[in-house]
A and B are shown apart, each in its own frame.
Chain A
Amino acid sequence: MITFVPREKVSKNWILIAPILSIVFTIFFGLLIFTFLGYNPIETLYQIFVSPFSRIDRISDILVKACPLIIIGTGLMLCFKSNVWNIGAEGQFIMGALLAGFIALSFPNIESKFFLLITLVTGFIGGALWAFIPAILKIKLNVNEILVSLMLVYVAMLFIDFIVRGPLRDPMSFGFPLSKPYPEGALINKIPFPGIGFLGQLHYGILFVVLLIPIAWIFVNKTLGGFKINVLGSAPQAAKFAGFSQNSITLTVLLLSGGLAGVAGVIEVSANIGQLQPEVSFGYGFTAIIVAFLGRLNPLGILFAGIIIATVKLGADNAQMTMGIPKVVTGLFEGILLFFLLTGETLQKYKIQWSERK
């Protein structure tokens, strides 16, 4: 019989080694799967892990792809650290983008970039409002936030679909479900580098990440708020004893994470799409859950995790384009990665004991 025995102390080295080992195992099993499916395993791994770094504009595409993942992941970190399970960042992302889009389209002639501040704040409010629903249900009625936040994702998806097919459809779109293009003031531009020009799609939205990571780090490690989140996640009874209100912490982390997901939505649409369409997210809200855990619920870790996951995603696209490997196979690969990460996390805290038993 197998039993899991808690370790007395979690080794500091293993906190670093475990994620690395997880990736090594993932690569190993990836090799096996690709081989059995009849693809050249080395070529596939090259496409997934190396080709995204092969040109400087591709590297900048990694950053563009990682940008929403890191922003959402940072918000989710606050939830997961306090044992609040917000699974619906995808929906909050969409609602943030939608509300900001509504504002942007209401001022079709605006050109000042200061208008971006307004759309970003609106996006934050949109995402936070969507997260407010699971928050208030959990606080008032003790409804499980996992179910509510997850189900609201599908509501949000159908809602934006309805909006861009109905009220906000551009009459000039020839029947396509698209809104009018955003005004100049609501667009996030690409960054011009002197002498080089643009680097792929790299845009000013990345500055938000540059600001967010240190602020998040200070909040978590150096403020009472971060301490409260940590205590609630580790020992809810002790949080009560310290006089921290569980409800207000739950509400705060859900609003913050919803808001950040909303901001990520605004940045994504304003920088890369420029108008509303039925699909504005490509699973960022779900992938960010992996990013948050891969980053060990630590802002710096999430920065790196976002980049790793973005690389794999882009690599999977490359593999699909150059080798015709279907998306489901690379999806499976991502699943293996998550599996090993969680295994690594569990084995840090517990050791396995085999006992003979009849």
Chain B
Amino acid sequence: MDQEKGSEILLKATKINKSFGNFTANEDIDISIARGQIHALLGENGAGKSTLVKIFYGVLQPDSGSIEINNKKIVITSPNIARKNGIGMVFQHFSLFPALTVAENILIALDNKIKLNKIVDDITNLSKEWELFVDPFKLVSELSVGEKQRVEIIRCLMQNPNLLIMDEPTSVLTPQEIINLFKILKRLASSGCSILYISHKLEEIIELADEVTILKSGKSIATIDAKKTTTKFLAETMVGKKITELRKNIKKRSITNIAFELKNLNKQKDHEFGISLKNVNLQVNYGEILGVAGIAGNGQVELMEILSGEINCEHHNQILLDNLPIGKTNINERRKLGIETIPEERTFHATVPNLSLNENTFLTYFFKYNNTKSWISNLLNNPQNSADECEKIIKSNDVRCPEINPLASQLSGGNLQKFILGRSLANNPKVAIFSQPTWGVDIGAATTIRQKLLDLSQSGKAVILISQDLEEIFELSHKIAVINQGVLSQIFRVEDITAADVGLLMGGKSIKKKKMVSVK
């Protein structure tokens, strides 16, 4: 029966081309999706995955190429037409109105108008049938991220789609939610609905997909049977080169001193969509990486502001560096003390996009060029002073620039992050606090960045790594804590906790008592 299903082609796209100005997002892409198949689309950031599916869903128009559904050529000029042809899509960023209920959100998205009562019945039936449990009367703003995604899926299912497109659906889910989602997707597929699944996570694809098409720089470079491949092969095909393994080399850890401590921190949220931090305690020793796991939007940004010194603590002794209180020092005083932070937002926060790399070096280094020379040169302290430093950072971190001293906005995400990391490391920090350092970065750069974090800890520095990438957390950390709704869990040794436990904590559940790292 599987064979039969596999032979019937639902969607066939030939020679799809799309460019934005000089940038070619899709070049001669061929892809065909069989009925009832889970077809994965794999590629690095910027490989053209999102562009391709937006073309299928009618959000973008291809420059050339043709699309056939059930062997009939169609032109998808709008999402409306796509839905009429049985194509549904769940976007990476949800398109729901927070102030409306689940049922209202689904109602307004439907092309044919139905009564609200009927919608509520339909939702209840669908959610029972597919185990997509949501309360139709709840406000969307009260839903968890996983629930919001379920609403989006139900909204698609209302239209009885033949093809469901899912754009990076797991990036915001806990491991348990991911397992649930996969169950649902597999059931959907076996009922005959094809699924086009976009991801850059290799394990997921091997677990879920029947077939996988790999995109690289806008071209489709391979279509392979997902059941007969390995993550290593996928990764190398996707990146186009051998992946260097991390040199982990964890020696027997000796007992080291506490480097950095945060004690009993409470902070009210300062805007409606912020998160209040509740009694947060953390500590990190020299030579250690403390991983802080958690789904985005659970207080990481607020925690970073406190750790970096952008916002001061209420009491000076709420943060200790080498047992000395520094809670009321500002971010530059902390830089001088050897604490370097990198916020998760690369542009507009860690760097100014419309300024050059040189000026962006000056941004966090300006104080170094003060107070040595005469008053006139102090008065004229300007980005020219950081030119040498900037060049060093670019060279020693392999930051690839399109021109000499480019604007920050001209660099790719990976190169910009290498620059930002290099800028921090050039200050020779003893405590490094990095938030989502590899988020949205290509595999090559991500490996380089992770290696630098490991090297830092192995040279005796203390590192706090805030990340939503569980794999990364487990790969790098010696100790792990989880943040959920502004509450930080106990700190566990990595050998005392499993990914499933972390997943439960991420979802706000508690886990069985484990041996925890003693916190004074």
Q: Which of A202-210, A227-235, A278-286, A301-309 contacts B (4 or more CB under 8 A)?
A: A227-235
Measured between C-beta atoms, what is the minimum distance from B510 to chain A in Å? 35
A238 located at the interface, meaning its Cβ lies under 8 Å from any Cβ of chain B in the complex: yes
Which residues of A lie under 8 Å from residue B383 when comparing CB positions? 227
CB <8 Å contact, A227 and B362: yes
Contact with A along B335-365 (1 / 0, CB 8 A): 1000000010101111111110001001110
Q: Is the CB of B348 within 8 A of A223?
A: no
Residues of A within 8 A of B343 (CB): 237, 241
A235-B348 in contact (CB<8A): yes
Quote the shortest CB–CB distance from A186 to chain B (angstroms): 32
A 215-240 to B, binary, CB cutoff 8 A, 1 in contact else 0: 00010011110110011001101101
A241 and B355: CB pair below 8 A?
no
> Are B308 and A357 interface neighbours, CB within 8 A?
no
Instruction: State the Cβ distance, B511 to closest chain A Cβ, in Å.
Output: 35
- Interface size bracket, A side: 20 to 34
A-B contact pairs, 9 of them (CB 8 A): A222-B380, A222-B382, A223-B379, A224-B382, A235-B351, A235-B352, A237-B348, A238-B349, A358-B78
Q: Is B389 an interface residue (CB 8 A)?
A: no
- In the complex, whether A243 has a CB less than 8 A from a CB of chain B is yes
Interface centre among A218, A221, A243, A357 (most CB of B within 10 A): A243
Chain A residues positioned under 8 Å from B380 (CB to CB):
218, 222-223
State how many angstroms separate the Cβ of B51 from the closest Cβ of chain A: 14
B348 interface neighbour in A218, A221, A238, A243, Cβ under 8 Å: A238
Question: Do A234 and B355 form a contact, CB below 8 Å, given A241-B331, A241-B343, A242-B366?
Answer: yes
* Given A9-B410, A231-B355, A243:B382 Cβ within 8 A: no
For A243, what are the chain B residues with a Cβ–Cβ distance below 8 Å?
309, 330-332, 335
Residue of B nearest to A237 (CB): B349
Chain B residue at minimal CB-CB distance from A230: B355
Chain B residue with the shortest CB-CB distance to A236: B348
Are the CB atoms of B349 and A241 closer together than 8 Å? Answer: yes
Cβ–Cβ < 8 Å partners of A356 in chain B = 77
B113: min CB distance to chain A, Å: 17
Residues of A within 8 A of B352 (CB): 231, 234-235, 238
B350, A238: Cβ atoms closer than 8 Å: yes
Greatest chain B CB density within 10 A among A9, A224, A356 is at A224
Instruction: Give every chain A residue within 8 A of B21 (Cβ-Cβ).
Output: 8
Q: Which residues of A contact B330 (CB under 8 A)?
A: 243
B359 cross-chain contacts in A, Cβ below 8 A: 227
Least CB separation from A231: chain B residue: B352
Bound complex: CA of A136 vs CA of B231, how far in Å? 59
B positions within 8 Å CB-CB of A: 21, 61, 77-78, 80, 308-310, 330-332, 335, 343, 345, 347-355, 359, 362-364, 366, 370, 379-383, 407, 410
B291 to chain A, nearest CB (A): 23
Q: Report the bound CA distance from A9 to B330 in whole Å.
A: 35
B350 interface neighbour in A222, A241, A357, Cβ under 8 Å: A241
Whether the Cβ atoms of A223 and B382 lie closer than 8 Å is yes
List B contacts of A241 (CB < 8 A).
308, 310, 331, 343, 349-350, 363-364
Q: Cα distance A231–B347 when bound, in Å?
A: 12
Report the Cα distance A226→B310, complex, angstroms. 21
Residues of B within 8 A of A222 (CB): 380, 382
Which of A221, A231, A238 has its CB near the most chain B CB atoms (within 10 A)? A238
**A contact residues around B351 at 8 Å (CB):** 235, 238
Measured CA separation A357–B363 after assembly (Å):
44
Q: Separation in Å of the A14 CB from the closest CB of chain B?
A: 15
For residue B82, give the distance in angstroms from its CB to the closest CB of chain A: 13
Which residue of chain B lies nearest to A224 when distances are taken between CB atoms in the complex?
B381
**Chain A nearest Cβ from B257, distance in angstroms:** 28
Pairwise interchain contact B353-A223, C-beta atoms closer than 8 A: no
Contacts A224-B382, A230-B355, A235-B351 aside, 6 further interface pairs with beta carbons under 8 A come to A224-B366, A231-B355, A234-B355, A238-B349, A241-B363, A242-B363
Counting from the closest, the 8 A-B pairs by CB-CB distance are A243-B332, A237-B349, A235-B348, A243-B331, A235-B352, A242-B363, A238-B352, A222-B382
Q: In the docked arrangement, what's the CA distance between A243 and B333, Å?
A: 9
CB-nearest residue of chain A to B351? A238
CB distance from B186 to the nearest CB of A (A): 36
CB-CB under 8 A from A240, the residues of chain B are: 310, 331, 349
Separation of A243 and B343 alpha carbons in the complex (Å): 13
For B80, the chain A residues whose CB sits under 8 A away are 358
Segment 234-265 of A: residues with Cβ below 8 Å from B: 234-235, 237-238, 240-243
Nearest chain B CB to A112's CB is how many angstroms away? Answer: 32
CB distance from B332 to the nearest CB of A (A): 4
Smallest CB separation, B489 vs chain A (Å)? 28
- In contact, A235 and B353 (Cβ under 8 angstroms): yes
B410 touches A221 (CB 8 A): no
Contact partners of B332 in chain A: CB under 8 A: 242-243
Whole-angstrom CA separation of A45 from B354 in the bound complex:
39
A227-B382 contact, Cβ under 8 Å, with A235-B349, A242-B366:
yes
Least Cβ–Cβ distance between B385 and chain A, in angstroms: 10
Given the complex, which residues of A lie within 8 Å of B335, measured CB to CB?
Answer: 243
| Complex CA distance for A355 and B54, rounded to whole angstroms | 15
Write out the residue numbers on chain B whose beta carbons fall within 8 Å of the beta carbon of A234: 352-355
Chain B residues contacting A221 (CB-CB under 8 Å) are 382
Q: For window 335-358 of chain A, which residues contact chain B by CB distance below 8 Å? A: 355-358
CB-defined contacts of A355 to chain B, threshold 8 Å: 61
Contact B364 A357 (CB under 8 A): no
Closest to A240 in B: B310
Query: A residues within 8 A CB of B345?
Result: 237
Q: For B80, give the chain A residue with the smallest CB separation.
A: A358
Q: Are B363 and A231 in contact, with the CB atoms below 8 A? A: yes
Q: Contact between A238 and B363 (Cβ–Cβ < 8 Å)? A: yes
A226 to B384, alpha carbons, bound, how many Å?
13
A241 nearest CB neighbor, chain B only: B349
Kindly provide the distance from the CB of A24 to the nearest chain B CB, expressed in whole angstroms.
27
Query: In the complex, what residues of A have CB within 8 A of residue B353's CB?
Result: 234-235
In the complex, the chain B residue whose C-beta lies closest to that of A357 is B78
The complex places the Cα of A221 from the Cα of B331 at a distance, in Å, of 25
Query: Which residues of B lie under 8 Å from residue A224 when comparing CB positions?
Result: 366, 370, 381-382
Give the nearest-CB partner of B350 in chain A. A241
CA distance A227 to B380 in the complex (A): 11
A240 to B304, CA, bound (A): 12
Minimum CB–CB distance from B18 to chain A (whole Å) comes to 14
Instruction: Determine the residue in chain B with the shortest Cβ distance to A243.
Output: B332
Residues of B within 8 A of A218 (CB): 380
Chain B residue at minimum C-beta to C-beta distance from A234: B352
Q: Which residues of B contact A230 (CB under 8 A)?
A: 355
A210 to chain B, nearest CB (A): 21
Most buried by B among A8, A230, A234, A242: A242
Chain B residues within an 8 Å CB radius of A238 = 348-352, 363
What is the minimal beta-carbon distance from B462 to any residue of chain A, in angstroms? 21
B381 (CB) vs chain A CBs: closest residue: A224
Across the interface, which residues of A come within 8 angstroms of B331, CB to CB? 240-243
Hey, which chain B residues are within 8 Å of A237, CB to CB? 343, 345, 348-349
Q: B89 CB to closest chain A CB, in angstroms?
A: 18
Q: How far is the CA of A51 from the CA of B214 in the complex (A)?
A: 69
Q: How far is the CA of A218 from the CA of B376 in the complex (A)?
A: 12
Rounded to whole angstroms, the CA-CA distance of A358 and B81 in the bound complex is: 11
Most buried by B among A226, A234, A235, A356: A235
Per the bound structure, the CA–CA distance linking A148 and B21 in Å amounts to: 44
List CB contacts (< 8 Å) of A4-56 with chain B: 8-9
| CB nearest neighbor in A for B366 | A224
Closest to B359 in A: A227
Nearest B residue to A356 via CB reads: B77
Report Cα–Cα, A230/B348, bound state, in Å: 13
**From B77, B351, B363, B379, residue with most partner A Cβ within 10 Å:** B363
Nearest-neighbour CB distance to chain B for A237, whole angstroms, equals 4
